[in-house]
């Protein structure tokens, strides 16, 4: 299927079908769409992506409401409304599959197979199709059939066991990190599979991709694995402190907090000089990073004797001047108006046909020749059904019968 876009990208010419709900699948395809792929989001007209009903909402011109999170997570995509449980909807979907390069789905394992749309069935129709499945716990194994939301993956992966303060209640990472990383891994695996398919040794054939929230979360335990597999020690919550080096954490100031990372000889020397701490620099317990980490509680207490007498901005200014890595802890009101991000044009407005401009988070992937695409906000349900189905041979009469009252 050919599709013209206002801005070509690295994946221009690649067509992706998404059967995605909530976060992991749609976040994966958002990355692919940002990179230029055509992403067609297929939703059940009677039970669309639940994110559509997640607030807060943007007010449309006709008093309609549009999910603000959906408008960002599903930017640069098209929407086709099909009931895959109906014979007519399934047939229409198969026509789309025949011309697609990629399918990304994040339904419960087995759901697609029960619809007759599993990877083996679709490979017979389209041998070049890359079939990517994102799920809570993977496509097989004892946990595969369980519902897997981000917080369950954070719990089982160990992330919640090391997040928070040492004596506090269990805390999850503030963003749905397992969902998001699973989406990133899925997008990366898709690009790798496409590359392999299009090489001579790939023989033009696609493959299956299985990415789980659980394994995505466990893959992040680099320091914890280094500790456990070397010594048997199990990681515990450390607040903002680093697992192996010091000082590398948030320290208290007179009016807030500042993060510091003085873990090399140069930056440690700089911190001691900037905060006028010659006695710490001379203390043999703090001569190297291992020693500082072994005594980090005492060390931070001493550092805070200096920082609590100063405003956070003054601490940052002094440490910046000394070349010591540091940063204030910003809230999102500060982040979304940050001068540095604004200067780099990170935030941008995507046009929504009913709600107007919708502010977007930029793509962190900055490519000099094929920059990330900046197209439309998340589409209305079924907004592109007629255009897309017309491309695969449906007549107006056939689309009337298939779509009924769902077509916009």
Query: Catalytic amino acids?
Result: 179
What percent of the chain is predicted at pLDDT more than 90? 94
5 pLDDT band, cuts 50/70/90, is very low
Contacts with 242 (C-beta within 8 Å, 6 or more apart), sequence order: 223, 248, 249, 263, 293
Q: Nearest Cα to 74, choosing from 27, 133, 42?
A: 27
For the chain, the structural domain boundaries read: 15-219+343-406, 248-252+257-328
Q: What is the pLDDT of residues 23-75, one digit of tens each?
A: 999 999 999 999 999 999 999 999 999 999 999 999 887 778 999 999 999 99
408 pLDDT band, cuts 50/70/90, is very low
Alpha helices in 288-375, H assignment, sequence order: 289-294, 296-307, 312-321, 332-335, 339-343
Three-state DSSP class for residue 350: strand
Contacts with 72 (C-beta within 8 Å, 6 or more apart), sequence order: 350, 358, 360, 361, 377, 378
Give the pTM.
0.94
Q: What is the mean pLDDT of the chain?
A: 95
407 pLDDT band, cuts 50/70/90, is very low
Domain 248-252+257-328 sits in which CATH superfamily?
Answer: formyl-coa transferase, domain 3 (3.30.1540.10)
For the residues 187-213, what does the mean pLDDT come to? 97
**Does position 4 have pLDDT exceeding 90, yes or no?**
no
**Does position 376 have pLDDT exceeding 60, yes or no?**
yes
Q: Is 202 exposed, middle or buried (0-12, 13-18, 19+ CB in 10 A)?
A: middle
Q: What is the pLDDT of residues 87-123, one digit of tens each?
A: 999 999 999 999 999 999 999 999 999 999 999 999 9
pLDDT number for residue 2 = 40
C-alpha 307, offset from chain centre: 35
**Does position 206 have pLDDT exceeding 60, yes or no?**
yes
Q: What is the pLDDT of residues 343-352, one digit of tens each?
A: 999 999 999 9
To the question of domain 15-219+343-406 being in CATH 3.40.50.10540, the answer is yes
404 pLDDT band, cuts 50/70/90, is confident
Residue of higher predicted confidence among 128 and 6: 128
223 pLDDT band, cuts 50/70/90, is very high
Q: What is the pLDDT of residues 120-147, one digit of tens each?
A: 999 999 999 999 999 999 999 999 999 9
Which residue spans within 20-118 are E strands per DSSP? Answer: 38-43, 57-59, 65-67, 77-81, 102-105
Q: Is 368 exposed, middle or buried (0-12, 13-18, 19+ CB in 10 A)?
A: exposed
């Amino acid at each position: 299927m050919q599709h013209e876009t206002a801005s070509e990208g690295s994946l221009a010419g690649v067509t992706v079908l998404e059967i995605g709900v909530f976060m992991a699948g749609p976040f994966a395809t958002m990355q692919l769409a940002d990179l230029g792929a055509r992403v067609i989001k297929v939703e059940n007209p009677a039970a669309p992506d639940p994110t559509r009903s997640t607030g807060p909402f943007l007010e449309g011109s006709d008093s309609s409401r549009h999910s603000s999170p959906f408008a960002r997570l599903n930017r640069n995509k098209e929407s086709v409304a099909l009931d895959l449980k109906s014979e007519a909807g399934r047939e229409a979907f198969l026509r789309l599959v025949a011309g697609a390069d990629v399918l990304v789905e994040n339904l419960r394992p087995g759901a697609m197979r029960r619809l007759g749309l599993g990877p083996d069935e679709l490979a017979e129709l389209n041998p070049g199709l890359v079939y990517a499945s994102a799920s809570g716990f993977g496509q097989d194994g004892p946990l595969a059939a369980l519902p897997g939301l981000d917080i369950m993956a954070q719990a089982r992966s160990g992330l919640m066991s090391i997040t928070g303060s040492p004596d506090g209640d269990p805390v999850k990472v503030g963003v749905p990190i397992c969902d998001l990383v699973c989406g990133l891994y899925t997008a990366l695996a898709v690009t790798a599979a496409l590359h392999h398919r299009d090489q001579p040794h790939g023989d033009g054939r696609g493959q299956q991709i299985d990415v789980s929230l659980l394994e995505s979360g466990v893959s992040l335990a680099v320091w914890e694995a280094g500790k456990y597999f070397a010594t048997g020690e199990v990681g515990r919550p450390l607040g903002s402190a680093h697992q192996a080096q010091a000082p590398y954490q948030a320290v208290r100031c007179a009016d807030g907090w500042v993060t510091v990372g003085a873990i090399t000889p140069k930056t440690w020397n700089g911190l001691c000089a900037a905060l006028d701490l010659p006695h710490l620099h001379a203390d043999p317990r703090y001569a190297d990073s291992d020693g500082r980490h072994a005594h980090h509680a005492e060390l931070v207490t001493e550092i805070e004797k200096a920082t609590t007498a100063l405003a956070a901005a003054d601490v940052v200014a002094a440490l910046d001047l000394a070349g010591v890595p540091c940063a204030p802890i910003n809230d999102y009101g500060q982040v979304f108006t940050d001068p540095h991000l604004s200067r780099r044009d990170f935030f941008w407005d995507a046009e929504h046909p009913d709600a107007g401009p919708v502010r977007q988070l930029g793509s962190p992937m900055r490519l000099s020749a094929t920059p990330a695409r900046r197209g439309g906000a998340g589409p209305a349900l079924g907004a592109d059904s007629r255009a897309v189905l017309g491309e695969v041979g449906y007549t107006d009469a056939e689309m009337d019968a298939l779509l009924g009252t769902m077509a916009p």
